[in-house]
Chains A and B, each alone.
Chain A
Amino acid sequence: MGNNQTTLAQNFKKAMGGKSIYIIAIIFCVVLAFATPLFATQQNIINIMLQMTIVGIAALGQTYVIITGGIDLSVGAMITFAGCVSIDLLLRYGMWVAIVGTLALGILFGFINGFIVAKARIEPFITTMAMSMIIKSIMLVYTDGYPRYVREGVTEANPNFGDDFLQIGGGKVFGGLPVPFLILVIAAVVLGILLSKTRFGRYVYAVGGNKETARLSGINVPWTQIRVYIICGLTAALAGVVYAARIGTAQTTMGDGYELKAVASVAIGGTPLAGGRGSIDKTIVGALIYTVIANGLNLLGVSSYYQDLATGIIILVAVIINERSLRKQ
């Protein structure tokens, strides 16, 4: 009997090896479900799906960058820029130009970031921080400091202007699944497969593990770095489009702080800032935990004065548990 128990425990540990972040997420949800009856309701689950979308999408690209040992601090500025540009293009040319044009700009900014980091060998922290300032300035010039909102385009002839664009942020499909969450899932699946099942994905891990070894192995390190920053720019732009569609407006401070929220989600998911390991699925769980904390504290009626304190402690404990588990593995 004792041996059976030991075997069962060992099998469980083996099965859950490196997956403690999932257990932590489950513990959070179970505790909150008992703490407040509102937490496990269908409406709140939909709310959580919606609320994790922006950070989740932004964190996908950030995961790639961090695995290579870099960091992208221009994500917040890019989200803002994408939000403002997408609504501006929507008002001028319609939805598809808005989406494609904005994503193209995200790719461009990502390429510039990657090119400077890889070719000029400037620290990612400095490069992307400077790029963040540049993007913010371009945006202020572009918008003249004025917010843009989707319903500006409503006229008597076109009273439903923007409805299609707003569906990206607020629509539902398949009997209630929020469209932005579906976008997050699709992006996560695509980027997850790219990272875990392709040669490029292996290059990303190799560059993060040791650049010199990667180079000696024949990997084109600069091009790999450029591509991960392009992915990060693309996901930041996508997050900005979804964000603008969710709130129906864009103003010049809307993305402030999202770069750190994205980094936090990646870190909670167990990706070390030194790079070399990490995965998309764990980043999604990290974004989920980040969102569930805020959602749960609100539902519990915790004062906003205490919320950051509670959030900080919970994140630290979660990361410590996860990190210890990974080291043990």
Chain B
Amino acid sequence: MKKTIILVLAVVMCVGLALAGCAPANEPAAEEPAAEEPAAEEPAAEEPAAEEPAAEESAADEPAAGGGGYKLGVVNVNAVYPYYQATLSGMEEQAAKENVELIILDSQGDVGTQMSNVENLILQEVDLILLINVGETDGGQCVETANAAGIPIFALSRECKGSQEPTASIVTDYTVADGFAYDMAEQLGGEGKICEVQGVLGVSNVTLRHEALEKVLAENPGLELLDSQPGDFDPATAQAVAADMISKYPDMDAFYVHDDDSSMGVIQAVKDADKQDSIKIFSTGGDPSAMAAIQAGDLTSTWAILTGWEGAQSVHSAVAYLDGKDITKFIVTPSLRVDASNVEDYPGDYCWYTTEWEQFPLID
């Protein structure tokens, strides 16, 4: 009887592996992008920070032959973050248009797993790797490993610092953090008492957003930073931190929140304290929940990053590179302010999932 049970369990295990092998490859189908056309008028934000194509740099070293039909390996930073799922959706949409196969692996926010994923993609002989890096200093060895294998690698979302440059970078670097911080200063008229709810300490985008705030504070003596605490990108933690800040600084004017998820917690803390009229909340991301909060009057603004566009651009650039064309090697993903004045133009998940922006066409 025991032998039978063990045999059955062994069979179950093998079947489990086999089923796993039959499970849908890569990520589930992307959400459909919002159907609305982009608003004709310019958004109330600065121009996107995309650099001009670097014409002097030829990107083609040894491209694979033929247009389309390429196999691109994608290393996603963490599948649990909807922001990056929107990036993947943009990739999938563009990949379908350009006849490209995507192999998507998840690093689960772990640098070691990220490195393993790059090794696994090299083994699978992909034509090019799109790396959504865990942190801007965490991908250096990945770039060296890919270069050693002769496989081009693009850095997405954040730069790859190291001894070797990635083939191209399509990132939301300091210019996006600056955009968010300067926009808050502009909306406050250069005056006010601020509390900062950070993300996870030590993560590179958190560092960039904090540094951007420090820069803005240095340039605007009327702005005062009362307190700065980590909210860990977690609404519950952010709510607790924000509630304590409101108690400690009842005359505060605004929250500078590092992401839209945390903002949901901060909004609740402000509501609990009945301070909706006196405290403004500035957030960043462009999360669909933030759009709803702006429409409801709970959130002052969010600095929306066009993450779906970034995904589409990465595939577009990858195919162009593999076709042997010159490509722009450093692109900053566009971002813009969404507030009560223009939120109707960008409903729901529009900022994240729409890749066909009239004002932000894909760059060659």
Contact = CB atoms under 8 A, between A and B. Distances in A.
B109 A300 contact: no
Contact of B23 (A140, A147, A253, A306): A306
A243 interface: yes
A156 to B, nearest CB: 13
A47 B2 contact: no
A146 B24 CA distance: 38
Interface stretch (B110-118, B213-221, B266-274, B324-332): B110-118
Interface stretch (B25-33, B277-285, B289-297): B25-33
Contact of B162 (A149, A243, A307): A149
B18 interface: yes
Contact of B106 (A150, A296, A304): A304
Given A32-B17, A249-B138, A301 B200 contact: no
Interface in B83-121: 103-106, 108-117, 119-120
A298 interface: yes
B226 interface: no
Nearest to B198: A145
Given A299-B124, A304-B27, A149 B203 contact: no
Interface string A215-255: 00000000000000000000000000001001111011110
Contact of B13 (A140, A169, A294, A314): A314
Which DSSP category, helix, strand, loop or mixed, fits chain B's interface? helix
A44 B202 contact: no
Contacts of A299: 120, 123-124
A170 interface: yes
B45 interface: no
A199 interface: no
Interface string B17-60: 11111011111100000000000000000000000000000000
21 contacts: A28-B17, A145-B206, A146-B207, A147-B137, A154-B163, A246-B115, A249-B111, A249-B135, A251-B134, A251-B203, A254-B112, A257-B110, A298-B105, A303-B25, A304-B79, A304-B105, A314-B20, A317-B16, A318-B13, A320-B9, A321-B10
Interface of A: 24, 27-28, 31-32, 35-36, 38, 41, 43-44, 47, 50-51, 54, 140, 143, 145-151, 154, 166, 169-170, 243, 246-249, 251-254, 256-257, 294-307, 310, 313-314, 317-318, 320-321, 324-325, 328
